[in-house]
Amino acid sequence: MRLRKKKHLEERMSNCGDILLINDKSDFYKLKEVDRYKFIDTQKVFGNSNPIHLEVGCGKGGFITQMASLHPEINFLAVEKVGNVLICAMEQAIKLGLDNVNFLNSDASNLSYYIKEKSITRLYLNFSCPWPKKKYANQRLTNPRFLKIYKQILCDDADIIQKTDSPLMFEYSVEQLSQNGFGLYDVTCDLHNSSIDNEVMTEYEKYFTGIGKPIYRLQAKLNKNI
């Protein structure tokens, strides 16, 4: 179902300009490759050199704003390609007065144009669309084309944390991460009946847990021996 465009969206996006670092325009793909690069100066943006955590597909921002509130010692970047959804996350961050979270209105496939190499210490993939039809597998956020980008922007000791309600997406992610140089740990097919720490629940997680669906979770780190 297509989302109804929020009223005054352009004006509201403009009002969030201080925390909206990147806003992909429709002419992005018309640019020459060299002109697409707009690396974010995180030292300037955040005013410090704290570790940076990135959420890819932040939705309405429930997870990232809670994490930013709980961890002022960490800087957060959140990516969401749908402006109609991202606006909710940005307005929530402003309402909470958070100064350690900023946003990118961008497709995940463009992250390497904006985020410097080896600058992210943790990457979150929370309830990404599973794209269940096989022909759309290259859209899954753990497809090798995205893993290649993550490898560029992740620090040497960084990790990826994924949560999903989809057994198909989880199985696919385990397979792709394992085959593309990542070691897996803290893997569970039922997060809320495990001993794994789960500091913040996302909106989807609360819903799925409420209707009795198990939550799949994994943590992955680049295997330096591969």
Amino acid at site 66: Q
**Mean pLDDT for all residues in the chain:** 94
Backbone angles phi, psi at 179, to 5 degrees: -85, -10
The confidence score (pLDDT) of residue 7 equals 79
The confidence score (pLDDT) of residue 65 equals 98
Q: Is 4's pLDDT higher than 80?
A: no
- Read off the pLDDT of residues 170-206 as tens digits, 9 standing for 90 and up: 999 999 999 999 999 999 999 999 999 999 999 999 9
The confidence score (pLDDT) of residue 225 equals 53
Smallest CA-to-CA distance from 69 within 105, 49, 95 is with 95
Smallest CA-to-CA distance from 221 within 160, 141, 153 is with 160
107-124: average pLDDT: 97
DSSP 75: E
The confidence score (pLDDT) of residue 197 equals 95
124-145: average pLDDT: 97
Q: Is 101 helix (H, G, I), strand (E, B) or coil?
A: strand
Please state, as a whole number, how many other Cβ atoms lie within 10 Å of the Cβ of residue 169: 22
d(CA 209, CA 216): 11
20-33: average pLDDT: 89
* Residue 126 β-bridge partners: 163
Q: What's the pTM?
A: 0.94
- Read off the pLDDT of residues 45-80 as tens digits, 9 standing for 90 and up: 999 999 999 999 999 999 999 999 999 999 999 999
Q: Is 154's pLDDT higher than 90?
A: yes
116-139: average pLDDT: 97
147-166: average pLDDT: 97
The confidence score (pLDDT) of residue 226 equals 45
Is there a contact between 126 and 163 (Cβ–Cβ < 8 Å)?
A: yes
Smallest CA-to-CA distance from 38 within 151, 117, 116 is with 116
Percent of residues, the chain, with pLDDT higher than 90? 90
